[in-house]
Amino acid sequence: MEAEQARALLSDPMSVFAFLAAIVALIFWVSGLERFRKTFEVIPPVIYVYFLPMLTTTFGITPASSAAYDWMTGYLLPFALLLLMISIDLKSLARLGPTALVMVVAGTVGIIIGGPIALLLFKGFLPPDAWQGFAALSGSWIGGTANMVAIAESVGTPESAFGPVIVVDTVVGYGWMGVLLVFSGYQAFFDRKTGANTAAIEDTNRRLAEMDRDRHPTTLRDFAVMCGMGMAGAVLSVVLGQRLPRLGDPTIISNTTWAVLIVVTGGLLLSFTRLREYEKVGASGLGYTALYLLLAGIGAQADLKAVMQAPVYLVAGAVWISIHIAVLLLAARIVKAPLFFVATGSMANIGGAASAPVVAGVYHPAMAPVGLLMAVAGYILGIYGALACAWLLAIVGT
């Protein structure tokens, strides 16, 4: 580790952290410029947040190993998760209606069973630790980046496996998003052929007026409370997690997993209290900021050479997402769901809160908030569903 740090231009942990924070800040600043807005709609900021630090490590600016990365993984993840979970409005989710929630769950089930099947088909062409990379990808495809990091830490995904995982997540995941956007022009045909119950959309649309959240400027008091609450919760979850036993062979429930489960469950419980009001002053935004800083640290540890394994991963990822689609279509047939709920339910899993509102808005411009709420539902399922998928992947891959 010391030799790697000596070869890098930056070696002091604080300098490494500051450099990565500056990269994240630059990416989001550029993404807000009008001339680059279309570019970032096609390739979202999260991809740059991962790949740019990977390149800085490849060219010797940042080290592949640093105490900064260990701290970021240990504490920024539970910090982010606590603030994100507290922000969730479970009552609004319940008001979405059964059709929307059934399609989100169907999408999650498709990911849980699709991963092990894809790994079984292709594991002969992949390295022995491929199941750990698949496990991390299952987290990304059931709820988003935070779940990817949590599952990767849980199963001990090596840094070298992250390169192919991000390639698959980008190419397959966002490629499928592009297909869904094209399909928006055929939703009337799909709904007519399947006899879909479009009244569900109209009913959901009527509920939107009840789901609006007032937001206020963040004061110093708000920011101090959120930072203190987040860090205290993060440290407490880590301390409690270290006292609980590891489960599984290979390990599926590690000390980090316990910490994540504690902070996610505790955050959901706290979302029923007045603490949820902090979402009005940016609790989730602060949580996502910590999450992107963490992702930059993970990117800086990744092995760029591992991307060369991506072709086989890409084919396996395509098979995986095809199973996800098949389960969604079967569920849609059973509950007579419109194509809107098929597309949004899929993207609520695959793309999370960044992509689901976009897809929902293309199908029905007034329904973008439904996409966000469905993504939140997928996010709640994420950590639990991805752990189930990781357990199945471990069985197949070892």
Report helix, strand or coil for 253. Answer: strand
Confidence of residue 250 (pLDDT cuts 50, 70, 90): low
Report helix, strand or coil for 247. Answer: strand
Q: Provide, rounded to the nearest whole percent, the portion of the chain with pLDDT above 70.
A: 84
**pLDDT value of position 398:** 77
More confident residue, 300 or 162: 300
Read off the amino acid at residue 104.
Answer: V
pLDDT in tens, 211-232: 445 567 788 899 999 999 999 9
Q: Which of 344, 320, 350 is nearest to 332 (CA)?
A: 344
**pLDDT value of position 77:** 80
Residue 367 has pLDDT above 60, yes or no: yes
Residues 98 and 371: their CA atoms lie apart, in Å, by 15
Residues 246 and 387: their CA atoms lie apart, in Å, by 14
pLDDT in tens, 253-288: 667 778 877 888 888 889 888 888 888 888 888 888
Residues 227 and 179: their CA atoms lie apart, in Å, by 40
Q: Provide, rounded to the nearest whole percent, the portion of the chain with pLDDT above 90.
A: 22
For residues 324-343, average pLDDT: 91
Residue 251 has pLDDT above 60, yes or no: no
Cα–Cα distance list, 50 to 1, 70, 79, 150 (Å): 21, 17, 19, 16
Backbone dihedral region for residue 282 (phi beyond 0: left; psi -120 to 50: alpha; all else: beta): left
For residues 316-340, average pLDDT: 92
**pLDDT value of position 209:** 47
pLDDT in tens, 36-59: 887 887 677 877 887 898 889 888
Q: Work out the mean pLDDT of the chain and round it to a whole number.
A: 81
For residues 141-154, average pLDDT: 78
More confident residue, 327 or 186: 327
More confident residue, 66 or 373: 66
CB-based contact 278:230 (threshold 8 Å): no
Residues 1 and 350: their CA atoms lie apart, in Å, by 35
* C-beta atoms surrounding 41 within 10 Å: 10
pLDDT in tens, 189-210: 888 888 877 776 666 555 554 5
**pLDDT value of position 176:** 87
The per-residue DSSP string of 73-95 comes to: IIIIHHHHHHHHHHT--HHHHHT
For residues 340-358, average pLDDT: 79
